[in-house]
Structure 1
């Protein structure tokens, strides 16, 4: 009886942990639900610069090249996000991604980045290249 209770608790713990961990690719795929993206509108959170990305290859590489980034769900308390990305699909839906060096908000879910945040670095590079 005690062993089966401990096994059940352990299984619940593992399920709970697996629900907290994902990748950037899984989170964006879940948000987009298979809809192709045709435009990204990027800005900083201060509103100093706003521009559109419409090059499908750049958009595809931005979203796909970082698909393996390990994420863990977080509460987002005290997080200061730096860049906003409005994701426009061909079905005229608009989704949001916000990013800082250690946190990504995808849809309505905050995630802490486990390891290097290459997505942030790429967004930062693109932002700095714009006039």
Structure 2
């Protein structure tokens, strides 16, 4: 089902496209130039995740970040990959390459969350 475009959806996508990195809901809210309810932004972000436009990254501190699905396999949702969180500037970015893992027979993996922490190239 095709969803209609709204100013909120356009504003959220615009912010994420311009930054090129995963962002938290509150960071997105600060960068949006129109008055939008916090709950509406969060609802839009989760709907974008459901639609395969974004993927959600949960950092080691439990905070959620949202990144555009640039190299995601639409049929299988996101390709499992590593993320890097900079402890100095608090940004998260998707790293190239796929995470390879194996699980015992009869286990079905639905989500993989791989976040590396340290200092990014811009802060080091």
TM-score by length of 2: 0.23
Choose between structure 1 and 2 for higher RCO, CA contacts under 8 A separated by at least 6 residues.
Answer: 1
TM-score by length of 1: 0.22
Structure (1 or 2) with the greater helix fraction: 1
Query: Radius of gyration: which is bigger?
Result: 1
Structure (1 or 2) with the greater strand fraction: 1
